[in-house]
Amino acid sequence: MNRYILYTLLFLGLMSFSSCKKKKVIKDLPSGVIENMTFKETVLIDGHGYDGTIIRNCVFEDISGDGLQIRDVNNLIIEDCIFRNIEEDAIRFRNSGSSDGVQILNNQIYNIKENGILAPEGHVNTVIKNNIIHNVATSNISSQFGSPHHGIYFQGFNVKIEQNTIYDVINDNGNGISIRTYGTIVRNKLYRAKDHGISYFSDHPGDAKQLLIENNVIFDNGKRGIHLASNGETANHIGSALVRFNTIVSNTESTIGINDDLSNVTVDLLANILIRTDGGSTYIYANVPFNQEKNITSNGNLGFVDFSNRNLRLTNASSAINYAVGLTDFPSIDFDGNTRTIGSLDAGAFENQ
């Protein structure tokens, strides 16, 4: 039997089985503060009666569906929770609703078969900060049908993804962060995803807005550190991508890639450290115009504290010290929160102290 047909029958069979077996959903929790509880079925937070609710210090574990679902709620806070051993997504924003200003803070998310966090277009102004997400996207079934899972998979508008640690994204085409519109991705540590560390793909409206990627530490992913791609729909494109002060180590491909169809997007690459350990000489793959300044490239250790163990902070002897001096627009702090000053700007995510 043709392998594609076999996979299709298997997938349809699994879908049919799961649709026949109705999963239990907890959807009658009180609003306000939900804390110190353990859930072993999917929790649905649904409706504006939950606006401003805080979910704190809860455990979501051993769940056959999603861990937590969110729909039609604003200013929800999910903090200091554990999501583990979940068959679908750890946190899923529902396709059939919307949200504004949800905050996902200081959570641990691991042993997840699908996405760590998944959100479609209707969910805006979300903040995802200081979470540890690992050993996610462990199921490879959907990847065979062109729908891989990721650490964070975000289609909503104006998301802020900050200070998260995301690693061991197992799915064959899984990215640490897959962003489909615009927002900011800052001060994250991303490693050992099977595909890219950060991937932009334009299959949702970018509204000609800016995608800011800065102060991230990205290393040892399967392909590129940062990959900017298009589905061919020019109207969906973001207006600009500002990629600056990142430290990126790749082992098999260029550290940054820009798709040929993004010719109408302004791309600025500033003061990044780009390391390619396979000896290749193409650090930025692009056939379309882009702007670059003060990027430093190397095939190995250019003066890191412990390159082999990926402590990519700079030693006093690093060639990245003061390399970005001359730039007048730069992030005010580095990955560690140290202040940057115009007279002593170092390239990459870390300012030497």
Q: What is the CATH number of the domain that holds 219?
A: 2.160.20.10
Contacts 24+ apart (CB under 8 A), 263-266: 263/288, 263/289, 264/234, 264/237, 265/228, 265/237, 265/238, 265/239, 265/240, 265/241, 266/239, 266/240, 266/241, 266/291
Residue 211 domain flag? yes
Residue 8 domain flag? no
Which amino acid is it at 321? I
Residue 261 domain flag? yes
Which residues, other chains included, contact 22 with Cβ-Cβ below 8 Å and sequence gap of 6+?
none
Residue 202 domain flag? yes
Residue 346 domain flag? no
Residue 68 DSSP class = E
Indicate the number of domains in the chain.
Answer: 1
Q: Which residues of the chain have pLDDT under 70?
A: 1-22, 143-146
Q: Are 171 and 137 in contact (CB under 8 A)?
A: yes
What value does the mean pLDDT of the chain take? Answer: 93
Residue 322 domain flag? no
**Residue 138 burial (CB count, 10 A):** 17
pLDDT tens digits, 276-305 = 999 999 999 999 999 999 999 999 999 999
Residue 141 domain flag? yes
Work out whether strand 304-306 and strand 311-314 pair parallel, antiparallel, or are unpaired.
Answer: antiparallel
HSE (side-chain half, CA atoms, 13 Å) at 163: 12
| Predicted pLDDT of residue 20 | 38
Residue 341 domain flag? no
Domain assignment of residue 276, given as a range: 41-314
